[in-house]
Chain A
Amino acid sequence: MSGLEIRALVQRGGFDLDLDLRLGRGATGVFGPSGAGKSTLLHAIAGLLPAEQLRVAVDGEVLVDAAAGVSPPPHQRRVGLVFQDHRLFPHLSIARNLRYGESAGGGVDLDEVVDLLDLGELLERLPRDCSGGLRQRVAIGRALLAAPRLLLLDEPLSSLDRGLKLQVLPFLRRVQERFGLPTLMVSHDLSDLLALTDELLLVNGGRAAGQGDLPSIAADQGAVELLAGSGLSFSLPGRMARRDGTGLGWVELASRAGEGLGDPGCCEVACGEVTAEIGDEVEVILGPADIVLAVPPMDARLSLTNHLLGTVERITRTAARCLVQVDCGLEASVLAEVTERAVERLELAPGVPVVALFKAQAARARGLGAQRPGPAR
């Protein structure tokens, strides 16, 4: 069976983590409130926490099956784990850190990893002489060189501020593209997960609360309620087009192949915060609460810069709000959070044409290319 199968039961001091998962072969983002059991899951898979039940299989190959007596100690599991706090060995040089778990015949080449993560000039340094972003890159490289069958990333970006994050995030993308390892990544920042993973797994109170890509999760009432409490965001892929004199960055959003947008001006949006260079592949990160919906024709004159024309795809109702999924012909859907009253007043329903409006200041464009390692501010 292809993909990642995980069965985990961990009981610790009144907390139960109980998951039975079938995940895709690619990268899965694990999201949920703190204390949901996300890190516990990763640590149990790696063997650093005892589990009552544990079975992990990658593409049908069983890494752990405690019930069948296959429960190797952490050092024989071939599971890579990158910690939030890098955990580089302070007394070893970067090169020796990288080589620490190097697996002979593992098929991962030191030079390639050094090149991929742009670590060439650091090899003789000690970890304390490197910035946080670089250290996290070394930690990723170190995990890769041990040739794991499964890569676990436990909040790899959360100890970094936004600028430093950009020294790591594009490299994680490169690693994904080059190695294509089955990956579980935990983060409390949904936009990071959307940028790096193919599928989301929502965890709440030790149970799976939703699984799939963002649109399918956004269609699930329980999942939306959970996400709303943890900071729901979505991203629209595009390309950094230009900067204007007022400090705004203009991003040309990527439309779905084969479908025209009608109004070409509509697919360019202004972003208040930009960390990318002209021509870079970027994602525009937005929160559904920042999106205003209007029903055309629009005769009022608005101060808002950005408007995207689309049609309502789906409305997910929760106790407090409605999440409206709008198809604007872009690669990803726009999500707007409105009240039930607004849905009634605007007579919103699937198929209804709407305009999604947002301020430039609400939009954040983040570069995904790894051409330059430093923050491009």
Chain B
Amino acid sequence: MSAVAVLSPAEWETLWLSLQVSLAATAAVAGPGVALGWLLARREFPGKLLLDTLVHLPLVLTPVVVGYLLLLTFGRSGPLGPLLEALGIEVAFTTLGAVLAAAVVALPLVVRSVRTAVELVDPGLEDAAAVLGAGPLRRFRTVTLPLAAPGVVAGLTLGFARSLGEFGATITLAGSIAGETRTLPLAIFQGTQVPGGDGAALRLTVVSVLLSAAALLASELVVRRLRRGAGGGQT
């Protein structure tokens, strides 16, 4: 078991890459996730059901399909290919692609969690803030967001954990390039496919479990703190 305790430089690199990709994906979906969650919770508009379905599609589609659709969209021959190429941005088979794949599968989890949290905030409090002179942005920033914060944090944690575990979309869009797109799940899979790779697979599995558990624990602690601050509801 001593082999489990120490990671090789390549495994450290995998861990570091995974963290970077997952954090970047979580950061990327935080803004849109909160905005979409609020929109779906608070606004009625034509096409709401369509938007809702589109956002949640990655949750039910197999990730390989998500990855392939992303490849078709953002790849060189895709509709966005020429534009991205002109800007010097390459998505397919790059770290950016890994981030994009992770972000797209993480988004619905963030949106769902934010939406539920916002729905639980009493709209009457937003009305009260409006009558007190607060415009829409200030109402959101000072009332809705703080009261929905536990749900937002929980959603972002889920999104982070989902990004960390993302496999199918990543391998389809970004491939499995060591040091660039080979994140923990891909490295673990790789380990199981090559002779003598069992030790690495086991070590990285332990790392994955610890990382995910730590993320959940940290999120739970933050959520508890926020709940205490928020007065435990609107009594």
Whether the pair A128, B133 counts as a contact (CB closer than 8 A) is no
Contact of B128 with A83 in the complex, beta carbons under 8 Å = yes
Does A85 touch B at the CB level, under 8 Å?
A: yes
Hey, which bits of chain B sit against chain A, CB under 8 A? 122, 124-125, 127-135, 139, 142-143, 146-147, 229-235
Q: Do the beta carbons of A128 and B134 come within 8 Å of each other?
A: no
Near B by CB (< 8 A), chain A positions 80-139 give: 80-81, 83, 85, 87, 89-91, 100-101, 103, 126-128
Do A90 and B132 touch across chains, with their CB atoms under 8 A apart?
no
Beyond the given pairs A87-B128, A90-B235, 4 more chain A to chain B contacts, judged by CB atoms under 8 angstroms and listed by A's residue number, are A75-B129, A83-B128, A101-B132, A101-B134
- Given A74-B127, A90-B147, the answer on whether A143 and B132 have CB atoms closer than 8 Å is yes
CA distance A128 to B233 in the complex (A): 9
Verify A91–B230 contact, CB threshold 8 A: yes
Q: Is the CB of B127 within 8 A of A90?
A: no
Please, how many angstroms separate the alpha-carbon atoms of A168 and B124 in the complex? 22
Which residues of chain A have C-beta atoms less than 8 A from B230's C-beta? 90-91
- CB <8 Å contact, B132 and A142: yes
Determine whether A342 belongs to the interface, using a CB cutoff of 8 Å to chain B.
Answer: no
> Are A81 and B131 in contact, with the CB atoms below 8 A?
yes
| Sampled A-B contacts (8; CB under 8 Å) | A47-B131, A48-B127, A78-B133, A79-B131, A81-B131, A90-B147, A90-B231, A127-B235
Q: Which one of A91, A100, A126, A128 lies within 8 Å of B132 (CB-CB)?
A: A100
Point out the residues of chain B lying under 8 angstroms from A142, CB to CB: 132
**Range for the number of chain A residues in contact with chain B:** 20 to 34
Q: Could you say which of B122, B127, B129, B233 contacts A100, with CB atoms under 8 Å apart?
A: B129
Interchain nearest-CB distance for B230 vs A (Å):
4
A146 beta carbon closer than 8 Å to chain B: yes
- With a cutoff of 8 Å between Cβ atoms, the chain B residues found around residue A143 in the complex are 131-132
Q: How far is the CA of A262 from the CA of B234 in the complex (A)?
A: 57
Known contacts A126-B231, A128-B231, A128-B235; A87/B124 CB under 8 A: yes
A163 within 8 Å of B by Cβ?
no
Assuming the contacts A87-B124, A89-B143, A128-B235, asked whether A100 and B134 have C-beta atoms less than 8 A apart, the reply is: yes
CA gap between A311 and B235 in the complex, in Å: 52
Q: Which chain A positions have C-beta within 8 A of B234?
A: 90
Set A48, A101, A126: member contacting B133, Cβ < 8 A: A101
Q: Given A87-B124, A87-B128, are A75 and B231 also a contact pair (CB < 8 Å)?
A: no
A48 and B235 within 8 A (CB): no
Measured between beta carbons, the chain B residues less than 8 angstroms from A128 are 231-232, 235
Q: Shortest beta-carbon distance, A117 to chain B, in Å?
A: 16
